[in-house]
Amino acid sequence: LLEKPIGECFRRVVSASHDRIAIHSGTRHITYGELHAQSDAFALGLIELGIRAGDRVGLSLGNGIEYAIAYACFKLGAILTPLNPGYLPGQVIHALNHITARCFITSTEIKLPHKDPRLTSELLQEIATSSDPSTLSTTVPSLQHLLLIDNSAGRVDATTLPVTADYEALILAHGSQRLPPQDQLGVEDLANLQFTSGTTSAPKAVCLTHRNILNNAYLVGQGMELTAGDVVCCPPPLHHCFGLVLGLLTAMVHEATLLLPSPSFDARATLQSIAEHNATVLYGVPTMFLMELDLMSQGQVPKLPATTFFRLSALRHLRTGIIGGSPIAPSLRLRLHQHMNLSGLTNCYGLTEASPIVCMTGVLDCLDKRLTSVGQVLPHTAIRIADRNTPTRTLPRGDHQRGELQISGYAVMAGYWNAPEETARTLLVDEEEVDPQTQQKRIWLRTGDEATMGVDGTIRITGRIKDIIIRGGENIYPGEIEDALLTHPQVANVGVVGLADATYGEVPAAFVVLRVETPPEELRAWVRQKCPAAMVPKHVFAVDRLPLTASGKLEKYKLRE
């Protein structure tokens, strides 16, 4: 394990790769040396504003070079707290109050998927409410500074907005200065408060240390065999643990180049960026990959020829990457192998509370293993399958022993911010076993995910325990129905949930995004050919799109509503 804070690791990378491009973003790029200088300057600017180690800095931005702010916070010891750019003003204010933020940084425009840019002027007006010059905000009393990045290309007069400092001005004011090493920072200090996606409940702020996220980034990069010559294309949002840790930090710790195709996910921009910059690594959740494949099949990407042979030639540099974030249909995995040259794509399983990756397949694992599992646990992490009803009881290994996946080791979060009861429900103290890393009682993280562990240690995720449908006393796993429907030629995407039923208590219901209008009975018949009768959806609803989080995860609770 890397036993050093992120800022110290970053300085080592800069000394080795000073002139290497660190980030490509649209038409812009920045080298590691430039990124080091800018993040130092911004950290000094934050110090000038009174921000100190341990202070929470809220951040609401799309993907871009400006995420160098993250390194400024890591170097300074401030706790970076990215917020979902899709949050409405009330949600932003709630989040900032929850973490008692001292500083909030945003841009003049927020670019969201499939939508016109949204101005942040309303949000800023709702935050900067105080008429007292000594107080910035009555809605967020802890807040002392509002910082703005003007990304509007002249569409907005930023001088009219109620902010206390400008991002570029702070960097220019300290551009020639260097931040001294912050020797007081330790690996167990908090680096990041990460709001969970909230696919099943209200978001919680997960406390992650320098040790948590730096080592997860390092080990995942090792699993993909990353080198300084790799170009890592990262469409997932940097405000999410996937993008922040596996994108920003994994690329950095392995001295690779990070490619950010667009401020928010855009399938066309992603594919064009891969071809233009000869990307070797591609990240995404299943929904993103499905959109990219659909766009390619329609021949709508100028840099990618319509025929498979020439398209694969344009994508010839791709070799590996990560697919994760939600269950992966084997049919999708095969399509990515055949149509995007991703023969070494790794399946990953993780969650924010584990920094985030726990298990992954290897780039050389056989196709069957990559189609049916999430591989094996990463080094320095322990896992077990526990009885769903008695979470302290470990089940024996075996492909038919389904139970709750639990995790222990360096990657487990420090807890939920200001939520001791929720933390106690999620972290189990093992009274009988000592953690060899800490020499203290082992802590087990309850994931809420059901899984099996084979005799060789291979992990298969069978679903969210909360998502399991109990039909007349029989357990039905939504992922199996979703896998079957995704093989239908007219189904672009699908989500299956359980709905109340007077006879069976609960029955499966499928929400399908269709390429061409298809009768519900045809879809039921399709499932009937591939699954037991009890798994045939009683209800089939055609929808224009599925409700997704900003990171592309399906919000199943909204389907139930």
- The ranges assigned to domains in the chain are 6-16+30-210, 211-378+417-448, 468-560
Q: Which amino acid is at 73?
A: C
Question: Phi and psi (nearest 5°) for 180?
Answer: -65, 150
Tens digit of each residue's pLDDT (9 = 90 or more) over 445-464: 999 999 999 999 999 998 88
CATH H-level, domain 6-16+30-210: superfamily: ANL, N-terminal domain (3.40.50.12780)
Tens digit of each residue's pLDDT (9 = 90 or more) over 157-181: 888 899 989 999 999 999 889 999 8
Considering only residues 247 and 158, tell me which one the structure prediction assigns the higher pLDDT. Answer: 247
Q: Tokens 């809605």: give the residue.
A: 139
Mean pLDDT (the chain, rounded): 92
Q: Torsion over CA of 308, 310, 313 and 318, rounded to 10 degrees?
A: -40
User: What mean pLDDT is predicted for residues 25-50?
Assistant: 96
- CA–CA separation, 304 vs 295, rounded Å? 10
Residue 191 is encoded by which pair of tokens?
């680096």
Sign of CA dihedral 241, 246, 248, 253: positive
Considering only residues 306 and 11, tell me which one the structure prediction assigns the higher pLDDT. Answer: 11
Number of Cβ within a 10 Å radius of residue 182: 16
Q: In whole angstroms, how far apart are CA 296 and each of 201, 232, 442, 486?
A: 35, 20, 48, 17
pLDDT level of residue 258 (50, 70, 90 thresholds): very high
Omega before 356 cis (within 30°)?
yes
Of 445-454, 460-469, 535-544, minimum mean pLDDT range:
460-469
CA 487 to chain centre: 26
- CA–CA separation, 5 vs 249, rounded Å? 12
Residue 200 predicted with pLDDT over 50? no
Predicted local confidence at residue 475, as pLDDT: 80
Q: Checking DSSP bridges between strand 539-542 and strand 505-514, what pairing results, if any?
A: parallel
Of 108-122, 217-231, 291-305, 311-325, minimum mean pLDDT range:
291-305
pLDDT level of residue 202 (50, 70, 90 thresholds): low
Considering only residues 159 and 128, tell me which one the structure prediction assigns the higher pLDDT. Answer: 128
Predicted local confidence at residue 182, as pLDDT: 93
* Angle, in degrees to the nearest 10, between helices 32-48 and 68-76: 60
Predicted local confidence at residue 308, as pLDDT: 64
Cβ atoms of 250 and 259 closer than 8 Å: no
Tens digit of each residue's pLDDT (9 = 90 or more) over 383-420: 999 999 999 999 999 988 999 999 999 999 999 999 99
Q: Tokens 């934050």: give the residue.
A: 46
CA neighbor of 459 nearest in space, from 342, 303, 354? 354
Instruction: Examine domains 6-16+30-210 and 211-378+417-448 and report if their fold is the same.
Output: yes
231 contact partners, CB below 8 Å, separation of at least 6:
24, 256, 257, 259, 277, 278, 279, 280, 281, 317
Residue 199 predicted with pLDDT over 80? no
Predicted local confidence at residue 305, as pLDDT: 65
User: What mean pLDDT is predicted for residues 488-508?
Assistant: 92
Q: In whole angstroms, how far apart are CA 170 and each of 22, 159, 207, 242, 267?
A: 21, 15, 28, 29, 34
Residue 245 is given by DSSP the state I
Domain 211-378+417-448 in CATH 3.10.20.600? no
Q: Checking DSSP bridges between strand 56-60 and strand 103-107, what pairing results, if any?
A: parallel
Task: Name the 3-class secondary structure at 402.
Answer: strand
Topology of the domain comprising 468-560: GMP Synthetase; Chain A, domain 3 (3.30.300)
Cβ atoms of 325 and 551 closer than 8 Å: yes
pLDDT level of residue 198 (50, 70, 90 thresholds): low
Q: Tokens 């500083």: give the residue.
A: 103
Residue 352 is given by DSSP the state G
% of the chain with per-residue pLDDT over 70:
97
Nearest 5°: CA angle at 159, between 156 and 162?
Answer: 100
% of the chain with per-residue pLDDT over 90:
73
User: What mean pLDDT is predicted for residues 335-349?
Assistant: 92
Predicted local confidence at residue 321, as pLDDT: 98
